[in-house]
Structure 1
Amino acid sequence: IKMAGESTFPDVDSNGSEKNEDVEIIVNVGGVRQVLYGENLNRYPETRLAELINCLSGGYDTIFSLCDDYDPGKREFYFDRDPDAFKCIIDIYYFGEIHMKKGICPICFKNEMEFWKVDLKFLDDCCKTHLSEKKEELEEIARRVQLILDDLGMDASENRWKRYQKCIWKLMEKPESSYSARVIAVLSFLFILISSVVMCLGTIPELQIVDSEGNHVEHPMLDNIETACIGWFTLEYVLRLISSPNKLRFVISFMNIIDAFAILPFYVSLVLTHLGARMMELTNVQQAVQALRIMRIARIFKLARHSSGLQTLTYALKRSFKELGLLLMYLAVGIFVFSALGYTMEQSHPETLFKSIPQSFWWAIITMTTVGYGDIYPKTTLGKLNAAVSFLCGVIAIALPIHPIINNFVRYYNKQRVLETAAKHELELMELYSGEGKIGSSKNELEDLMREGKEHPSWSRQLKVSHSDTFIHLLSDEKHYRTRLQSCK
């Protein structure tokens, strides 16, 4: 028992380190007590727990710089941190690596590792994947929220052209921004459908007319409708290009390239029709015009700009390149093997349809994909057995990668819905806190706050910072910390 006034710290030698290297300490993290030994903690001296072993000789200032509270009688350190994450982090002192428990938010776990001064390199690769995915999600939410905030805010310092440019951009690119923008999006969708229908109707012989040279051409009425649609597409593309904040990114965007390919064939065919006949034969001009008119089918892909489902399908296929590659590899191997076997087995028949192995590729393709046109078929018994095995293997080869592709689509679709909901939730929280607790704040009030934020920087900072469980660090330059009672939803 120590007398009054006697030091409560353990005995130390002349160098300030404890004489007993196997000293034990008690760490209380969120109400969960854990006994730790210096021999294990000193394996990683740069961590916070290892610093606790050597901080006892530095006095209370040093101790409380490392923990929230300290009981000298029990030699117990108190931390108001997440106990579940701490149980995972202390594995580094025993196993040399850390695995994140299922159900813990990766971002919160990363913050816990930073608090305990444990480097992220000790986190296992499987857990790093979850962390990177979560960071990408938060970056996407922050990007969406920032875009909405940029749309709501109007900088008074901008000139009139800049304001007009921003208004046109929202009108043409953001249907959810206003009623007029929704009307324009619906009109664009209808023009795409009308143009596609007109392109199909123009190929019906009964609706075509015969020109002076005896060739069948489209009806003038359909041609006029096509011209009106092209005029709308051209006006839409030019307005979007002029109002685009980044012209280079706009031009090289995939969907904008599709829009350009849907417009250019019309003007190129006009140039070839009126000027090309002077420089080349009329037959060549007609062939070139016909080839360009076929390129009008590219405009059907313009529907993807107005359909979130088509966009989700496109991104899901991008994520499924590996599975699609496996599918093509399985089919390629099967086609080569069964076409070679079919050619070999059918050579004994005098009326064989398998003239060569390359010609047998076509038979193998339509057989493995269970199409079976019947233009090429085996006539020998061995050839028929080979055909049966080939289409059974084809069904299996096609069915194997389908499930992962569907899973990628469902996962990406659900993820997009979650991100959209999270962005809306973050905006609601910003509106709530920026309105000083007025839950009934409307969108107009939020716009007023954005405009007033240019004059009052403090209000703007309040709008960009959401003090909530779903706080996004990327929206603010200030650094905020969570307690163990907060969670990332």
Structure 2
Amino acid sequence: MWTVPKPKYRNALSEEGDITVNIGGVRVVLFGDDLKRYPESRLAELSNCSAHNPELISTLCDDFDPGRNEFYFDRDPDSFKCIIDVYYFDEIHIKSGICPICFIKEMEFWKIDQSVLDECCKSYLSEKEEELKEIANKVKAILEDLDVDQCITRTQRCQRYLWRLMEKPDSSLAARIIAIASFLSILVSAVVMCVSTIPELQVKNAEGKLVEHPTMEAIETVCMLWFTTEFVLRLASSPNKVRFALSIMNIIDFMAIMPFYVVLSLTLLGTTSMMELVNVQQAVQALRIMRIARIFKLARHSSGLQTLTYALKRSLKELGLLLMYMGVGIFVFSALAYTMEQSHPETLFRSIPQSFWWAIITMTTVGYGDIYPKTTLGKCNAAVSFLCGVIAIALPIHPIINNFVVFYNKQKVLETAAKHEVELMELKSGGQARKKGQE
């Protein structure tokens, strides 16, 4: 909102220091008193500049008409309409339809500091700057992939080629085949882990206990060898080993591989002195359960799963509100259910903590059925609890879906923009090469 009424422009100069500017064909008369509020700006310097100093004037504007005493600028008039607001209202608001990055360049040309931007425009500008940084990083990654042959040493060329082969499925046919093989290995390993627990497919060992079928173990071993080889090659070819080791997806890969070798070590050691330890078998079973971590390796090969993960990160506030609503509802309705059901001789609600389970399955509309109310008031309380649960779960769904759609579309736009930027760079380099050839 404007704090003071905006003054009208005069039709002619009436005071010393007033100037006439022509911005892209739009002629405007500006007051010298207003321009002096920002003495370091370009317009303030023009108002203090004498018409008999053409050298200084030429450095401040594109052209000057001494007869009309008019300064010409080949700039965007729409952006200038926003710029001049700072002289009257001490703040600038970027109007819709104007690129914020281009507007910042306009502010730099008119020598106006970015601190005068409105708060909403600053946040919008920061988002655009982050997008430009992401585009620059994507362009840098694409250029690095294209510049494999420009590495200094043969070792560097091999390392870069191996990195592309293991991490960039779109870089070549071989890289795509490796990505597909890795994806299938994950699926096969997950299926084998599940199928091996079926009693009909298990065999008995020397002690008469059911263990995994040797065929399943063989398939599991082959898959783990593939995962190990893949992880070692990716680690060896990584340009930044520390960043590689601290990556979430690489940590998951390591956690999926590590239990296999720990179990193998415990099994080999258990054949001698450690066989007497009962905890060895329990440790082996616990480490076998950790094999389920390999299913998260699918996220490394699926952009959709990665987008879903990032969208959930951006929706932590909505998820936190959901958990808070559910937590309050669970506590209230479980306490009410315990109180109302105490009058029934065959009550299933023995304590409030035990009632938490009933409140959880009721508010989430699961209805397991092991605990249920038997009194009329308890049934009414149950009806209200699952209605409140449906509402509490449904409310944050739309913001979470919206965050996912926005982030997914943004990633698609950034990838397209990065590819276009690379194409423009290639066209410019080709044009420069043709000019040198003609010379």
Take 2:432 and 2:56, find their aligned partners in 1: how far apart are those partners?
Answer: 40
Aligned to 1:211: 205
- Check conservation: 1:68, 1:78, Cα contact below 8 A: yes
Aligned to 1:433: 428
Aligned to 2:8: none
Q: What are the equivalent positions in structure 2 for 1:357-376 lying under 5 Å apart?
A: 357-376=352-371
Aligned to 1:190: 184
Q: What are the equivalent positions in structure 2 for 1:48-87 lying under 5 Å apart?
A: 48-56=42-50, 59-87=53-81
- Check conservation: 2:256, 2:290, Cα contact below 8 A: yes
Identify which of structures 1 and 2 has the higher relative contact order when contacts are C-alpha pairs closer than 8 Å and 6+ apart: 1
Deviation track 1:335-361 (CA, whole Å, cap 9, x = no partner) reads 112112222222222222222221111
Aligned to 2:328: 333
Aligned to 1:324: 319
Aligned to 2:22: 28
1:149 pairs with 134, 143, 146, which one? 143
User: In the alignment, is residue 287 of structure 1 matched against residue 282 of structure 2?
Assistant: yes
Q: Which amino acid aligns with 2:167?
A: E
How big is the shift at 1:125? 1.5
Take 2:426 and 2:51, find their aligned partners in 1: how far apart are those partners?
Answer: 50
2:374 pairs with 363, 374, 379, which one? 379
Deviation track 1:286-322 (CA, whole Å, cap 9, x = no partner) reads 1111111111111111111111111111111111111
Question: In terms of mean alpha carbon deviation, does 297-306 or 27-36 score higher?
Answer: 27-36
Q: Which amino acid aligns with 1:284?
A: N
Question: In terms of mean alpha carbon deviation, does 251-260 or 71-80 score higher?
Answer: 71-80
SS at the partner of 1:176?
A: coil
Take 1:229 and 1:88, find their aligned partners in 2: how far apart are those partners?
Answer: 62
1:315 pairs with 306, 310, 326, which one? 310
- Check conservation: 2:20, 2:30, Cα contact below 8 A: yes
SS at the partner of 1:347?
A: helix
Aligned to 2:90: 96
Aligned to 1:180: 174
How big is the shift at 1:26? 2.1
How big is the shift at 1:159? 2.4
- Check conservation: 1:432, 1:438, Cα contact below 8 A: no
2:416 pairs with 421, 424, 432, which one? 421
How big is the shift at 1:438? 9.4
Q: What are the equivalent positions in structure 2 for 1:113-128 lying under 5 Å apart?
A: 113-128=107-122
- Check conservation: 2:91, 2:117, Cα contact below 8 A: yes
Higher normalized helix content (fraction of residues): 2
Q: What are the equivalent positions in structure 2 for 1:380-459 lying under 5 Å apart?
A: 380-436=375-431
- Check conservation: 1:175, 1:182, Cα contact below 8 A: yes
RMSD: 2.1
Q: Which amino acid aligns with 1:295?
A: M
How big is the shift at 1:213? 0.8
Deviation track 1:205-228 (CA, whole Å, cap 9, x = no partner) reads 110011111111111001000000
SS at the partner of 2:395?
A: helix
- Check conservation: 2:42, 2:60, Cα contact below 8 A: yes
Take 1:19 and 1:435, find their aligned partners in 2: how far apart are those partners?
Answer: 55
Take 1:438 and 1:57, find their aligned partners in 2: how far apart are those partners?
Answer: 45
TM-score by length of 1: 0.83
Take 1:319 and 1:149, find their aligned partners in 2: how far apart are those partners?
Answer: 29
Take 1:49 and 1:216, find their aligned partners in 2: how far apart are those partners?
Answer: 87
User: In the alignment, is residue 160 of structure 1 matched against residue 150 of structure 2?
Assistant: no
Aligned to 2:7: none
How big is the shift at 1:156? 5.5
Q: What are the equivalent positions in structure 2 for 1:464-475 lying under 5 Å apart?
A: none
Take 1:19 and 1:83, find their aligned partners in 2: how far apart are those partners?
Answer: 24
Instruction: Name the count of aligned residue pairs.
Output: 423
Aligned pair in 2 of structure 1 residues 348, 56: CA closer, same or farther (>3 Å)? farther
Take 1:127 and 1:288, find their aligned partners in 2: how far apart are those partners?
Answer: 57
Aligned to 2:259: 265
Deviation track 1:151-190 (CA, whole Å, cap 9, x = no partner) reads 2214656222222111111111111111111111111111
- Percent of aligned positions that are identical: 72
Aligned pair in 2 of structure 1 residues 325, 58: CA closer, same or farther (>3 Å)? farther
Question: In terms of mean alpha carbon deviation, does 250-259 or 141-150 score higher?
Answer: 141-150
